[in-house]
Amino acid sequence: MTVTSLTARPAPAPAPRVAPRNLARLLWVELRHNAMPLVLPLIAVLFWFDSYRIAATLPPLWVVRLYYILGQGHALIDFAPFVAGVAAWMGSRDGRRGMGDLVTATVRPRWEAQLATWAATAIWAVGAYLVVMAVTLALLGRSVAWGGPPWWPVAADAVGIAAFASLGFTLGACFPSRFIAPMAAFGGLFAMAISSQTGFSASGGWALILPTMSNGNFGQDAGIFYQWLPDLPIDRVIFAAGVAVAAAGLLGLRPAAGGLRLRHCAAVVTVTGAAASVAAVVLAFTAQLGPYGVVIPALHDAASDRPVRYTPACGHAGIPVCLQPAYRPYLPDVTAALRPLIGEVAGLPGAPVRASQVAAVFAGGPGVQIGPASVGQILTLSGSPPALYMPLGAMALPNSFGADTAGFIDQIKVEAVHTLVTSGGAYGNPAQQAVEAALLQKAGIPPADQPSAMSTTPWPLMGGGPRSAAKYPPAIAAAARRFAALPTATRHAWLAAHLAALRAGHLTLAQLP
């Protein structure tokens, strides 16, 4: 009998693949014994006090309400330090207990077991963040009339929390001590404080990668007139994911982590994560500020530039007044502001025949005019027949920045009168100021209240002291009183004859009636 004549025996049945199931069981054990759930109630209370409580008082627009939570990164500030601290505690577990040698000798590679603990910690943290954000968005959205929240910034913060969990865990695993948890937590808080400081002051470049950086990328009328640009949040996701992966990979580089093959694999993971983070920072340097936010050419999708379709919400204030439906709650305020003024100027050559809201944008661009260069985005009068264009998103809405409804209405009145009497954003000559003061009086702002009403506009009265305590020069005040005291028909007739010359700045104070 030769070897070739032997009947082949059937190959033995392959051993059942139990590794994935065992890993799942290990993950389940780690999830059940994780310390993260203990601090989640505390994080929820902090989030409510620091983020939700303030956001809930802001105007009912997604972009405004989420500016504090997502734009300025308070969600991450509330979560990240605690997540980093608890993750460090979990990462230091074996080292603190002096069980390093014991667990290294087990059948499962050390890195694999640590990844299970890391994954359980990250799942608790990110899961809690998503639940908290879901509840927050549901509660905040109850009073928002139109639109939806931005999802990419939510995702960026979620991945950021995973990155803090990863960094904390690796720190704990490398320096096991009871003090590593508070050190990691305070390191996280210190990092977020520095991030906030830089985010407030920086305008671009690498600082765009910071989660607390809102300049030029979160605000204005994003998600209302134009889409939320996902470029920067995607870049932040890449950065945070790279940090998370690199930190997790570092755990596998240690000699006790496993065999040579596994450590090579860990090295590849670490390098990949680090490369992703570096690439994200490089991409941030290529960012450009466009009308609708930060554009990163390599990540930009042209479909994001399409304007948002909507059916305007319209009212009547002597002329049709139409707003973007997200601003529907402010329609009564806008019509109340314009009605008395339109009553004064209706029928005049150059007076508006309709009023429409326009988008407040981040910067000028092709086909997008940002307004007079000296004063930024204000109410403007243009077109034929003339129309009043109102970038309400650039104004202080009621309940934001200390503004109230009366201040908001006064601000619209002042800007509307100013654009009617003074073309562009110029301060106005004495004759223009006098007519403006008289029209404001007729529109419902008494002379005594005008300094205060004008204090938040680009044209405050100058008096050397507080803006709200300034006064008109006596000559202008006297001319304004005279003009306001004219019978309505006389004033209307004079404006019909002289409004064009007045707007052009060709009249002097002495030429007023």
Task: Point out which residues bind another protein (CB under 8 A).
Answer: 33-35, 37-39, 42, 45-46, 49-50, 54, 77-78, 81-82, 85-86, 89, 93, 177-179, 181-183, 185-186, 189-190, 193, 196-197, 200-201
Nearest distance from C-beta of residue 179 to another protein, angstroms = 6
Token duo for residue 179? 């003090």
Full strand arrangement of the beta sheet holding 320-323 = 313-316, 320-323, 354-357, 387-390, 380-382
Phi-psi region at 27: left, alpha or beta (left = phi > 0; alpha = psi -120 to 50): alpha
Instruction: Look at the block and give the residue holding tokens 């004033």.
Output: 491
Q: What are phi and psi of 321, to 5 degrees?
A: -120, 120
What is the distance between the alpha carbons of residues 306 and 249, in angstroms, rounded to a whole number?
A: 40
C-beta of 189 vs 363, nearer to another protein: 189
Nearest distance from C-beta of residue 465 to another protein, angstroms = 22
C-beta of 197 vs 286, nearer to another protein: 197
Using CB atoms within 10 Å of the CB of residue 412, give its burial: 0 to 12 exposed, 13 to 18 middle, 19+ buried.
buried
* Residues whose CB is less than 8 angstroms from the CB of residue 185 and which lie 6 or more positions away in sequence, other chains included: 81, 82, 84, 85, 88, 168
Nearest-Å Rg of the Cα atoms of the chain is 31
Measured torsion, CA atoms of residues 248, 252, 256, 261, in degrees rounded to the nearest 10: 160
Nearest distance from C-beta of residue 136 to another protein, angstroms = 16
Nearest distance from C-beta of residue 507 to another protein, angstroms = 45
Q: What are phi and psi of 309, to 5 degrees?
A: -85, 140
C-beta of 3 vs 101, nearer to another protein: 101
Nearest distance from C-beta of residue 185 to another protein, angstroms = 6
What is the distance between the alpha carbons of residues 452 and 174, in angstroms, rounded to a whole number?
A: 60
C-beta of 183 vs 496, nearer to another protein: 183
* C-beta pairs of 42-50 under 8 Å, 24+ apart in sequence: 42/82, 43/78, 43/79, 43/82, 43/128, 43/132, 44/128, 44/132, 46/78, 46/82, 47/75, 47/78, 47/79, 47/132, 47/136, 50/74, 50/77, 50/78
C-beta of 190 vs 401, nearer to another protein: 190
C-beta of 28 vs 186, nearer to another protein: 186
C-beta of 38 vs 448, nearer to another protein: 38
Using CA atoms, how far residue 178 sits from 34, 35, 101, 102, 337, in Å, is 16, 14, 19, 20, 62
Nearest distance from C-beta of residue 154 to another protein, angstroms = 21
What is the distance between the alpha carbons of residues 329 and 147, in angstroms, rounded to a whole number?
A: 14
What is the distance between the alpha carbons of residues 208 and 294, in angstroms, rounded to a whole number?
A: 9
C-beta of 201 vs 286, nearer to another protein: 201
Using CA atoms, how far residue 424 sits from 31, 246, 432, 503, in Å, is 63, 54, 13, 9
Nearest distance from C-beta of residue 439 to another protein, angstroms = 37
C-beta of 179 vs 401, nearer to another protein: 179
Nearest distance from C-beta of residue 380 to another protein, angstroms = 34
Token duo for residue 274? 């680090």
Nearest distance from C-beta of residue 64 to another protein, angstroms = 17
Nearest distance from C-beta of residue 479 to another protein, angstroms = 42
Nearest distance from C-beta of residue 204 to another protein, angstroms = 18
How far does CA 314 lie from the centroid of its chain? 28
Nearest distance from C-beta of residue 183 to another protein, angstroms = 8
What is the distance between the alpha carbons of residues 164 and 241, in angstroms, rounded to a whole number?
A: 10
**Residue in 261, 246, 254 with CA at minimum distance from that of residue 104:** 254
**Residue in 40, 160, 30, 26 with CA at minimum distance from that of residue 93:** 30
